[in-house]
Amino acid sequence: MDTQKDNLELVERLKLIECMMAEGRRKQESWGWTFVLWGVAYYVAFFWAAWTRFAYAWPVTMIATGILTAVNFKQKDSEPNTTLGRAIGSIWIATGLSMFILFDALGFSGHMKDGRIFLAGASAMLGLANAACGLTLKWKAEIACGLVWWAAAVMASFGSIATAVDAFLVAIFLCQIVFGIYAMILEAQRRKQQKGAAHA
């Protein structure tokens, strides 16, 4: 009798874990627009800094994008947050702050003369965030993004500066723009199914 009760409790716990992971993934899908926004912001900052040699292109662009993200989150994020959703959000906030602090400190101290340090560091941190979220949510597409970012970090460390730049720009396109659009499509399909089920 106790064994049957224990088995039922175990099944209920597994269902709860699966439900939490599905909810976390839905939440991540609803953030698809932020991936696209930040991908565009990375391109803007990268090319602004490269073409004009403006020392503050990255900080200005990142701060402006951070403010825009925060304002849009308050307007769009009406669903109640779950523990898993807060954990995923915390990973991204901590990653963004770490990148901002590290790269500004390296830039202002004059220790980031070789652009490969920035490209390798940014790629490694973004790989960490994508892989951590992907592994937590068991989402293969986001795990793949983590692997792409890590590959870009390795190429920045061992390749020429031209190879490092190319790898970084490709990773932005695949892991920010394409992945963000993919997440937005999944969210749109889910909302369409929910509306269809509500009308049925």
CB count in 10 Å sphere of residue 52: 9
Share of the chain above pLDDT 90, in %: 42
Amino acid at 35: F
pLDDT in tens, 32-49: 899 999 999 999 999 998
Q: Give the pLDDT of residue 147.
A: 98
pLDDT in tens, 48-79: 988 998 878 888 898 899 899 888 876 665 56
Q: How far apart are the C-alpha atoms of 29 and 111, rounded to whole Å?
A: 37
For 67, the token pair is 């403010």
Domain residues for the domain of 162 are: 2-199
What residue has token string 């994508």? 130
Q: Is 28 exposed, middle or buried (0-12, 13-18, 19+ CB in 10 A)?
A: buried
Q: How far apart are the C-alpha atoms of 46 and 176, rounded to whole Å?
A: 14
Q: How far apart are the C-alpha atoms of 145 and 47, rounded to whole Å?
A: 22
Count the domains in the chain: 1
Residues 130-145: what's their mean pLDDT? 93
Residues 12-39: what's their mean pLDDT? 75
Q: How far apart are the C-alpha atoms of 151 and 125, rounded to whole Å?
A: 12
C-alpha angle 106-107-110 in degrees, rounded to nearest 5: 85
Angle between the 115-137 and 2-30 helix axes, to the nearest 10 degrees? 140
